[in-house]
Amino acid sequence: MTTTIIWTIAIISGLGLLLALTLYLVAQRFKVVEDPRIELVEKAMPGANCGGCGFAGCHAFADSAVKAPNLDNHFCPVGGNETMKKVAEILGYEIKEKAPMVAVVRCAGTCAARPKTSEYDGSVSCKVKASLYAGDTGCAYGCLGCGDCVAACKFGALSMDPETGLPVVDEEKCTACGACVKACPKAIIELRKKGPRGMREFVSCVNKDKGPSVKKACANACIGCGICQKTCTHDAITVENNVAYIDFDKCKLCRECEAMCPTGAIHGVNFPKPLDKDAVKARVQERQKKAREAAAAAAAKPVGEPVEPPVQEPVVLKKEESNG
Amino acid sequence: MDKILVSPNPHIHSKTTTAVLMRDVVIALLPAVLVSVVFYGWKELFVLAVSVISCMAIEYLITRYCLKKASTLGDWSAAVTGILLALNLPSTTPWWVVFLGALVAIGVAKMTFGGLGQNVFNPALVGRVFLLISFPTYMTHWEIPQGLFGVDAISGATPLGVIKEGLMQGSTVPELMASHGYSYSQMLFANIGGSAGEACAIAILLGFIYLLVRKVIKPWITLSILGTVAAVSCVFWLANPAQFTDPLFNLLSGGLLLGACFMATDYVTSPMSTKGGIIFGVGIGFITLMIRYFGSYPEGVSFAILIMNSTVPLLNKWFHQKKYGRA
Amino acid sequence: MARRTFSIGGVHPADSKISRDCKLEYLPIPPTVYIALSQHIGAPAKPVVAVGDKVKAGQVIAEPGAFMSAYIHSSVSGTVKSIGPRKDLSGNNQMVVEIAVEGDEWMENIDRADNLVTSIPDDPKAIIEKIKLGGVVGLGGATFPTHVKLSPPPGKTCEMLIINGCECEPYLTSDFRTLLEKGEQVVVGTALIKKALGVAKATIAIEDNKPEAIEHITKVVETLKAKGPEYSGIEVLSLMKKYPEGGEKQLIDAVMHRQVKSGGLPIDVGAVVDNVCTALAVYEAVQKNKPLIDNSVTVTGECFPKQANLIVRVGTPLNYVIDYLGGVPESAAKVISGGPMMGKSIANLEAATMKGTGGLLFLTREQTKRMPESSCIRCGKCADACPMGLEPFLLNRLAKAGDTDALEANAVQDCIMCGCCLYSCPAGIPLLDVISQARGQVMGIMRARAAAAKAAAEAAKASAGS
């Protein structure tokens, strides 16, 4: 009895040792030598493997970052500047800070504003729907509402609003990885700068058709009238292909364009105070009137005397507004 | 015309839905069900009812309350499992054993894998094998069945069981056949004892032909099972007729026909390609015979099908249909 | 004798050719036509008229924009009102030439007499040139420019011309009526294409659900064979009714028992396939100088009270056609351009017909509504139905997983979008929706790879040369 136990213990232990030795030797033999910094960098990454940086995953990013001469082509949108600082520290590189971005849905074609003209009966997929036809509304550019972006988001930041039929971005969760931008076949979603305290202005429409037909299709659309362009004193708005676009680097958040837009296609979000449309409108109209008078006066005056453009005043005004 | 309907092509669809296919299987099983009720009496009807109702109730409860999805009873697949399970049990099985079988079949073998289309093993067979292993007394002991219209039914073990036991005691096959008076015509029209579905080969073949005519299934799997059983048993029987049963006996006895026609051809748990199906069938036939000849159980169809079910993913990976314009 | 057909897959949807007894009839000319500049595969045509120009029927209004392109002619006489974007049948903008109709004046060189011209020109090049000038494109659905198809790349020879009279799509009958009523012209057109290709054999393939057409064309071929040696070698072949018999690859398999390799062209196995209506258009372009400015359109559907086979000028607004026959019926839910299997759902009834428009089909909600999707029961019906021998259930799964390598290995790029898989799926799984997306993606990857390989080869050549 005792001998049996002893033998059993001895054999099992021996076998264990032998196998452990084999495992160790095999591990040594097939060891892959990797730059240890890769692992360090990877640990500093968020580990979501979302591919938002343009690499297959966090490991691929780390591998490429370690081998790269600088970090100009490497940015983790999910971890943002915090993560990139850590990565730069590990690798001893300099980095330029990037402003935080957020996904913005540039379509305001709610069910109420954009009546349905047909009934779609295929797969619930924007890609399938987009390759089949222009969409089940009069607008050939707007949101198709099948939620490809929602499915593409790995952070749960997107959801469909059942009432409007449009996707909604949860700014807290959005990491600006850009997966939704790639998923949207209509190129409606754009990564824009988050702005100070999240405040930003954008044109919530991408319809390139001419005004009258756009108006017929959707009440909230940009009709390309160009009023915003004329209103903007910072040269931030361009109207191309019948649709306006606000350059977020130039925009000073004065909200004048938003107040002047006849269809409400320009949206301002996260502003602490609601926009007093009439007051801003009156102010802008007053300024434009003055400018016209000044121009008329300048035209009447002999050439050579420069005209003071009335630019300074609204900037001060707008600052008050955004701070208040 | 309200709003124009828009969808990708095609714009028309075949009228054959999952429910229609499953209903066809139920219709194909009706002859076997009728015959079994006639031969085994009200008891069999009771087993059938318990099995079908429990299968459907369990599926309903799981889909509604565990998975929180819409009920899938409309696809008739739970009813098919219920009927097949009942046909695989002796008519004397107590109701709670039948219920346990249904619980394992639907609850374990089907729903835990994700429901219809996801299960690896045939649910009815898993239920049956579970009962066979857990309650061997109920599953192998056949009492005198009371025929519905006083049809004589004979008590005792199944022919396969009798022969297995006899061989172990040293008798030879011809002796046993003669002493028990087994004849092929009896087997073809009304079996001697066993599970309800094994009662009548003709009824099962009728159902099989119906499925073929309605194009619900293709014949390759069934034919390759029966062909393999016939060929392999022929070899053994010719080598030693005293030890091994003959091909016709093997084809007609036990659950082979029921298994080959209705269980092995189950869409979900059989290979997709014709080539894969034939290999699948050959495997079932061979394993069945090996169990019958050399195993400890008298019957091996259930085990054979379940074993081959596990090879289906591999067969699907290896064998594909012939593609156009490719070698 | 066994009925001949293609060897893999196929489905048997109900025939529903309810408009088969409706004679071809000319639709009155609409007040305005909208002629699209891209009515063919390849580059859009470049307009050569300006707003305000007077045009006659048959006058060139746009020239080919590239090698793979086609001439476009005015289908009416009148004044060019505008050249600009207009919504097509899917609601997307497309460049069109809008012409306000004034009278019906034709170009002088067009022979509008009814007599049959049977003499075949001697020079194949001249025939192809006339086909090109006539703006003839394939009318079987793909609208491939015919003159390009009839100029095989050097080194490839054609052994057999197949004229496709299968019309395997349910409901459609315009090819059938054309065969019956314009059979002579079709056969002369066949002889013209045969001459252009310099091929000895031609087969007019017709499905056996059209026995009248088979009988009629056989008779016509017999009579014409007496007219000259150009008509010898033309045969009529009856094929078993099965969808998609009219698919180019399937038809070649059925007629010649040869299969086109993946990624290959019919000419690789010595075949050229043209539709019967294309043969008619070739006849008109070559023998009568009449360019492709009208085509036959079947207007049908059980819920549509007045079925018809109409000859419609290119660019006629769809709602003009429909209103002529009594308007959209109340019970119709879907309007399809083409047949029910491969046709395109129309979202915009204000769109205009194009050269390739072969049918307008009205289906009720009951006939066409997709059933709710349930889980795959692995019945394999999609794989049995696929005429390319693919496994749609597998492709669907791989596409959902985004595994493009496995999709390519399982030949998703071979899909011909015939719709058999989705037609036959008992679980209502939108197989084709998913597969066609995956197919586009994989083909994009393959093209990118081919381009990269080509660039690499050229770079290697350049460095070797220097």
The angle that helices C211-225 and C183-197 make with each other, rounded to 10 degrees, is 60
User: A122 and B7: CB-CB below 8 Å?
Assistant: yes
Alpha-carbon distance of A164 to A142, in angstroms, equals 13
Q: How far is CA C300 from the centre of its chain?
A: 18
Mean pLDDT across chain B, nearest whole number?
A: 86
Residue A324 has pLDDT above 50, yes or no: no
Mean pLDDT across chain A, nearest whole number?
A: 86
Query: What pLDDT score was predicted for residue B236?
Result: 93
Rounded to the nearest 5°, which phi and psi values hold at C137?
A: -125, 160
Query: What pLDDT score was predicted for residue B229?
Result: 95
Percent of chain A with pLDDT over 70: 93
On whether the CB atoms of residues A175 and A52 are closer than 8 A, the answer is: yes
Cα dihedral B260, B264, B267, B271 sign: negative
> In b/e form, how buried is each residue of C249-274, taking b as 16+ CB within 10 angstroms?
bbbbbbbbebbbeeeeebbebbbbbb
- With beta carbons under 8 A apart, name residues in chain B contacting A121: 5-7
Query: What pLDDT score was predicted for residue B1?
Result: 63
H/E run at residue C283 = helix C276-287
On whether the CB atoms of residues C214 and C178 are closer than 8 A, the answer is: no
C-alpha closest to that of C8 among C342, C238, C252, C207: C252
User: B117 and C436: CB-CB below 8 Å?
Assistant: no
- With beta carbons under 8 A apart, name residues in chain A contacting C436: 128, 131
pTM of the model: 0.86
On whether the CB atoms of residues B75 and B186 are closer than 8 A, the answer is: no
Rounded to the nearest 5°, which phi and psi values hold at B214?
A: -80, 0
Nearest-CA distance from C251 to chain B in Å? 12
Return the minimum-mean-pLDDT range out of A22-36, A52-66, A294-308, B6-20.
Answer: A294-308
Query: What pLDDT score was predicted for residue A323?
Result: 41
Render pLDDT for B12-58 as a digit per residue (tens, 0 to 9).
999 999 999 999 999 999 998 988 888 777 888 999 999 999 999 99
Residue C414 has pLDDT above 80, yes or no: yes
Which residues numbered 76-135 in B keep a CB inside 8 Å of some CB on C? 77, 114-118
Mean pLDDT of C68-73: 94
Render pLDDT for A217-245 as a digit per residue (tens, 0 to 9).
899 999 999 999 999 988 999 999 899 99
Residue A63 has pLDDT above 60, yes or no: yes
Two tokens, residue C376: 């795959």
C372 interfacial to chain A (CB closer than 8 Å): no
Residue C28 has pLDDT above 90, yes or no: yes
- With beta carbons under 8 A apart, name residues in chain A contacting C368: 121
> Residue A314 — pLDDT band, cuts 50, 70, 90?
very low
Chain C CA closest to residue A141: C92
Which residues from A are below 8 Å from C when comparing CB atoms? 117-118, 121-123, 125, 127-128, 131-136, 138, 140, 209
Residue C218 has pLDDT above 90, yes or no: yes
Mean pLDDT across chain C, nearest whole number?
A: 93
Render pLDDT for C333-364 as a digit per residue (tens, 0 to 9).
999 999 999 999 999 999 999 999 989 999 99
Alpha-carbon distance of B282 to B280, in angstroms, equals 6
Mean pLDDT of C92-116: 92
Render pLDDT for C234-292 as a digit per residue (tens, 0 to 9).
999 999 999 999 999 999 999 999 999 998 999 999 999 999 999 999 999 999 999 99
Per-position DSSP letters for B61-116, written without gaps between them: HIIIIIS-----GGG-HHHHHHHHHHHTS-TT--HHHHHHHHIIIIIIIIGGGTST
> Residue A313 — pLDDT band, cuts 50, 70, 90?
very low
Q: How far is CA B115 from the centre of its chain?
A: 19
ipTM: 0.88
Residue A34 has pLDDT above 90, yes or no: no
Alpha-carbon distance of A244 to A208, in angstroms, equals 9
Chain C CA closest to residue B17: C426
Mean pLDDT of C32-47: 93
Mean pLDDT of B231-250: 90
- A131 or B298, which is more confident? A131
Residues forming beta bridges with residue C54, ordered by sequence position: C79
Percent of chain B with pLDDT over 70: 88
Render pLDDT for B64-117 as a digit per residue (tens, 0 to 9).
998 888 888 888 999 999 999 999 888 888 999 999 999 999 999 999 998 888
Query: What pLDDT score was predicted for residue A178?
Result: 87
What residue type is A263 in one-letter code?
T
Render pLDDT for C260-274 as a digit per residue (tens, 0 to 9).
999 899 999 999 999
CB under 8 Å to C179, separation ≥6 — which residues? C165, C186, C206, C210, C213, C216, C217, C276
C-alpha closest to that of A232 among A155, A288, A162, A306: A288
> In b/e form, how buried is each residue of B165-192, taking b as 16+ CB within 10 angstroms?
ebbeeeeebeebbeebebeeeebeebbb
- B324 or B180, which is more confident? B324
Residue C116 has pLDDT above 50, yes or no: yes
Alpha-carbon distance of A61 to A56, in angstroms, equals 7
User: C347 and A133: CB-CB below 8 Å?
Assistant: yes
Query: What pLDDT score was predicted for residue B299?
Result: 82
Mean pLDDT of A16-34: 90
> Residue A317 — pLDDT band, cuts 50, 70, 90?
very low
Nearest-CA distance from A116 to chain B in Å? 8
Q: Find chains touching chain A: ≥3 CB pairs under 8 Å.
A: B, C
Return the minimum-mean-pLDDT range out of A45-59, A183-197, B66-80, C151-165.
Answer: A45-59
Residue given tokens 């207007």 in the structure block: C299
Cis peptide before B10 (omega within 30 of 0): yes
Two tokens, residue B173: 């096959």
